[in-house]
C-alpha cells in the first residue's frame, strides 16, 4: 500500500500550529494506515527540526532587548511554528522523506515518500547521514524553504514570480500606472515616482509578497502590518538593517484584496503620517521624495534613498 493515495500534505498547512486535536488525528491516521502514520510522524519530526533551526537563526540575528516582551516572544514562536508547517507541507528540506523510507523499511511497510533523499550506507551496513543533512546544509535548506514558503527575498519559482504583472519593467509599469496616477493626485507627485517605489519594493513585480497558498497580497510597497492595521496580513522573510548590518527576519505585512486597495492604502499612509510630510508635493523630484521617505523611517536600509533614485532613473523619471 502506498501512502501517496492517503496522505495529503496540504492538510498540514491548514492546521493551526497549536492544534489540540493533532495527536488524536495522528493516532487515527496510524490506525487506518500504518504507512500513512509513518509518513505523518516523519513530517512532524522534520517540522520539529526545522522549527529548531528557524529559532536558532532568529537568535543569531536578534539584538539585545529587541524582543524583551513576553507577548512578542509568544507571537513570534507561534508564527515560526505556523510557517514551518507551511514549509513542510510544500516539500520541506527532504528529511521527512528520508526518515519515512528508512522507518518503512525497518517495519516492512511500503512507504512512498516524495522526492526521496536516502541515507548513505557504508560497507559496514550502518546508515550514516550524507552531506545533504549536515547542520550547515540543513540550515541553508531551511533558509531557502522559509523564503520560498512566503515569497520573500531569495524565493524560488514557487513564489510564482511576476504572475499578474507581466514580463519586464514595461509590462509592470503598464499594469500599475493607472493606480499610481490616482495615488499621485492625493500626494502631489508624479505618478512615476510611485511606480518607481513599487518597483523597488517588489523587484518590478518579481518579488511580490504572497500568501502561503500562492495568492497575491498586492502589497507592492512592503508596508508592514503594524500599529492599528485591522486588515489581512501575511508573514514573510525580509531584510532589515541595524546600523549598516543587514539581517533576515520574519515580519507581518499587509495584504489587500486588489491593486487598487493597495495603492489607496499607500497614498493614505504617506499623506496621513506626519513623518512623511516632506514627501508631499514633491512633483517629479525623485531625490526629494526619496529622501523624505528615508528620513521618515520608511525603510531601515541606509542606502534606500539612493536605490529609489536609481530605480526611478531606470524607469525614465
Which residues does the annotation mark as catalytic? 240, 265
Cell representation of residue 56: 536558532
How many Cα atoms within 13 Å fall on the side-chain side of residue 167?
0
Q: By C-alpha distance, which of 190, 164, 172, 197 is closest to 269?
A: 197
d(CA 235, CA 225): 9
d(CA 142, CA 147): 9
d(CA 137, CA 57): 14
Q: By C-alpha distance, which of 250, 196, 188, 194 is closest to 225?
A: 250
d(CA 200, CA 76): 27
Cβ proximity of 217 and 160 under 8 Å: no
**Dihedral, CA of residue 309, residue 311, residue 316 and residue 317, to nearest 10:** -30
d(CA 281, CA 231): 28
Cell representation of residue 9: 500534505
Q: By C-alpha distance, which of 49, 75, 73 is closest to 134?
A: 49
Cβ within 8 Å of residue 4, ≥6 positions away: 112, 114
Amino acid at each position: 500500500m502506498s501512502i501517496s493515495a492517503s496522505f495529503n500534505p496540504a492538510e498540514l498547512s491548514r492546521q493551526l500550529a497549536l492544534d489540540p486535536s493533532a495527536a488524536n488525528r495522528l493516532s487515527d491516521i496510524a490506525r487506518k494506515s500504518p504507512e500513512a502514520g509513518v509518513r505523518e510522524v516523519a513530517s512532524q519530526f522534520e517540522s520539529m527540526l526545522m522549527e529548531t533551526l528557524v529559532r536558532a537563526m532568529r537568535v543569531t540575528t536578534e539584538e539585545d532587548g529587541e524582543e524583551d516582551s513576553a507577548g512578542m516572544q509568544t507571537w513570534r514562536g507561534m508564527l515560526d511554528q505556523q510557517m514551518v508547517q507551511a514549509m513542510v507541507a510544500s516539500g520541506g528540506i527532504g528529511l521527512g522523506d528520508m526518515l519515512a523510507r528508512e522507518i518503512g523499511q525497518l517495519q516492512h511497510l511500503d512507504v512512498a515518500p516524495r522526492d526521496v533523499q536516502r541515507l548513505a550506507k557504508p560497507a559496514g551496513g550502518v546508515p550514516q547521514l550524507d552531506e545533504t543533512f549536515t547542520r550547515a546544509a540543513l540550515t541553508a535548506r531551511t533558509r531557502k524553504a522559509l523564503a520560498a514558503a512566503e515569497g520573500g527575498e531569495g524565493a524560488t519559482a514557487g513564489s510564482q514570480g511576476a504572475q499578474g504583472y507581466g514580463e519586464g519593467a514595461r509590462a509592470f509599469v503598464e499594469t500599475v500606472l493607472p493606480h499610481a496616477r490616482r495615488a499621485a493626485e492625493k500626494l502631489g507627485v508624479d505618478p512615476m515616482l510611485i511606480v518607481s517605489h513599487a518597483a523597488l519594493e517588489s523587484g518590478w513585480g518579481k518579488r511580490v509578497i504572497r500568501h502561503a497558498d500562492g495568492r497575491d497580497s498586492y502589497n507592492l510597497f512592503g508596508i508592514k502590518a503594524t500599529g492599528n492595521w485591522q486588515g489581512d496580513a501575511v508573514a514573510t522573510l525580509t531584510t532589515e538593517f541595524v546600523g549598516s548590518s543587514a539581517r533576515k527576519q520574519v515580519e507581518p505585512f499587509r495584504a489587500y484584496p486588489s491593486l487598487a486597495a493597495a495603492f489607496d492604502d499607500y497614498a493614505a499612509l504617506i499623506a496621513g503620517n506626519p513623518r512623511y510630510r516632506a514627501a508631499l508635493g514633491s512633483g517629479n523630484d525623485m531625490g526629494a521624495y526619496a529622501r523624505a521617505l528615508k528620513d521618515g523611517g520608511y525603510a531601515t536600509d541606509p542606502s534606500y534613498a539612493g536605490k529609489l533614485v536609481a530605480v526611478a532613473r531606470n524607469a525614465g523619471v
